[in-house]
Structure 1
């Protein structure tokens, strides 16, 4: 009887370890976002590829404005998104004659899939930026990022000193354990072994604790980089305290935190509408173009 009970226990543990790992795999390999047909876009574009560290093909796009570009905005999509899923956010910048570039993360959009769960987004961003330089896509450069993409956007500051400003929406991610506990709650995962495997794998094996420490260290050296954050008080996915932490760490003279009361995760633009686009445009006009009117507008933001 003892032998049977022990065998049942071992099977139970193995079963839940496997289920926990499956949760990790599903999280890092989300369903591919429906791609916009680029042929229907009202702007010219150029698609191109570059290679990840493990030689996977990654797809990217350059959206080209109608007139001479004022600069280039690097746009980093959210988890489960793609280089075209964020088009609504970037179209106002195209109207203001900014070039916008974006790439599909591994396991996203048109980029190839990885069998494992390795986190390489920061290195992928570095390789993407070098590809921009090789293609002679010129600055001045600004970066914008959405949700998890906000973390990727800020990481670009480690690559080059040519980035003049960063705008983030619903991010970046600092408090990583809180975030992954939220994921478990949203998936209604209560089984202890599955939870332990999920958290251990993401935080230690994939390395989100290390990513968080790098982000905190990075923020301490960002005094001279203007950053605009738009975040909702009701955000339960990446909580508002992530944005508060960033804002309190940065130079308040150059950084702004716009708090949205009625939005949830990644719905700030839906709530603010044109005001959202105005914030973003005036921010980049202020720090990339050095426009006097934009300076006054930016300084008036509370």
Structure 2
């Protein structure tokens, strides 16, 4: 008899991530069908093969998506831009050590948390937010399972909210930042995290959301569009596996639902030609948000928008933070929403 007690390294990793259990629960069904004495009808065999192929496709692509991106040594650092920075680290509520940079300002108007996208690290957003350094302390950090931070799984916004909460905790303890008004800037997945975190933390008074998705389940369906009509089944299966393995409800915790609870001023930036996250996601988020809010469309793609005239982008972002991070609060500085 073969010895099944020894697992390969790959199976061991699957077991650690909880994927092997899901696979093994479905494997007996396949063997039961194969061991049947009677020959299965052709249509039934085709259907079974299609279902198993779809399951395998979702399992493999989902596994690759939630695993950490390839870790690379930091190439872009604040010193390359003439900025003084400090290496910082802080612990999340579930025991993950996050690492980042604190870039202090000489005469700060406030502090801004900067959140990168997927799959990336804090160096992705450094060139995009460095213009804020003249007036604001900046805290850039790597989300869990990204860059130099701890973690084995990416949850596309849900557990990453704890990372922002840990950043807020660090700011609350540092004497340079504990009494400053706080804003948050995020790009792509980081923008979605910024909205989710700010919805539950009123100490965040201004949010700049750059290219956020409104609903992650919708992004899953869009990802599987190469499957044609089967994309809906693949998306449903992926959401089921997400609930099974991550114990997270993406429908209830999507930016477009949570933004309704946001008390911070919200600036929504999105490229009309965004090929990855459609512009309609920005419109959905904007529609559900409360005042003060503004929708700022830009030209370009998901990763290269606002580059034709960076000053327009920078002026809009800086104006937003300057307006709503005034120390007396923003109740008397509200500006009307615009598109």
Report TM bin, short chain: 0.7 to 0.9
Q: TM-score, normalised by structure 1?
A: 0.80
* Residue range with higher mean Cα deviation, 264-273 or 196-205: 196-205
What is the CA-CA distance between 1:31 and the residue it aligns to?
3.3
Aligned equivalent of 1:287? 324
String of CA shifts for 1:180-237, please: whole Å, max 9, x gaps. 122223xx4569576653343347754322322xx44433233x53111111222232
Distance 2:141 2:74 in 1: 13
Aligned equivalent of 1:58? 98
Change (3 A) 1:140 1:76: same
- 2:74·2:123 contact (CA, 8 Å) conserved in 1? yes
- Residue 185 (structure 2) pairs with residue 147 (structure 1): no
Distance 1:165 1:195 in 2: 33
Secondary structure of the structure 1 residue equivalent to 2:85: strand
Aligned equivalent of 2:253? 211
Instruction: Point out where structure 2 has 5 or more consecutive residues left out of the alignment.
Output: 1-33
Match of 2:295 among 253, 257, 271: 257
1:186-265 correspondence runs (5 A):
188-189=226-227, 192=230, 197-202=237-242, 206-212=248-254, 215-222=255-262, 224-252=263-291, 254-260=292-298, 262-265=299-302
Aligned equivalent of 1:21? 59
String of CA shifts for 1:129-161, please: whole Å, max 9, x gaps. 112212332321111111111111112324432
Aligned equivalent of 2:18? none
Query: What is the aligned residue count?
Result: 288
CA RMSD of aligned residues (A): 3.3
- 1:74·1:142 contact (CA, 8 Å) conserved in 2? yes
Structure number with greater Rg is 2
- Residue 119 (structure 2) pairs with residue 80 (structure 1): yes
- Residue 85 (structure 2) pairs with residue 48 (structure 1): no
Change (3 A) 1:93 1:18: same
- 1:33·1:108 contact (CA, 8 Å) conserved in 2? no
- 2:110·2:136 contact (CA, 8 Å) conserved in 1? yes
Aligned equivalent of 1:100? 138
What is the CA-CA distance between 1:283 and the residue it aligns to?
1.2
* Residue range with higher mean Cα deviation, 53-62 or 109-118: 109-118
Change (3 A) 1:250 1:56: closer
- Residue 198 (structure 2) pairs with residue 161 (structure 1): no
String of CA shifts for 1:226-277, please: whole Å, max 9, x gaps. 111111222232222221122223345x2111122x4221322224421111
Instruction: Point out where structure 1 has 5 or more consecutive residues left out of the alignment.
Output: none
- Residue 221 (structure 2) pairs with residue 181 (structure 1): yes
Q: TM-score, normalised by structure 2?
A: 0.73
Change (3 A) 1:275 1:216: closer
What is the CA-CA distance between 1:58 and the residue it aligns to?
1.6
Q: Which has the higher contact order (CA 8 A, sep 6+)?
A: 1
- Residue 168 (structure 2) pairs with residue 125 (structure 1): no
Secondary structure of the structure 1 residue equivalent to 2:138: strand
What is the CA-CA distance between 1:44 and the residue it aligns to?
1.2
Secondary structure of the structure 1 residue equivalent to 2:201: coil
Secondary structure of the structure 1 residue equivalent to 2:218: helix
Secondary structure of the structure 2 residue equivalent to 1:267: coil
What is the CA-CA distance between 1:4 and the residue it aligns to?
8.7
Distance 1:99 1:4 in 2: 72
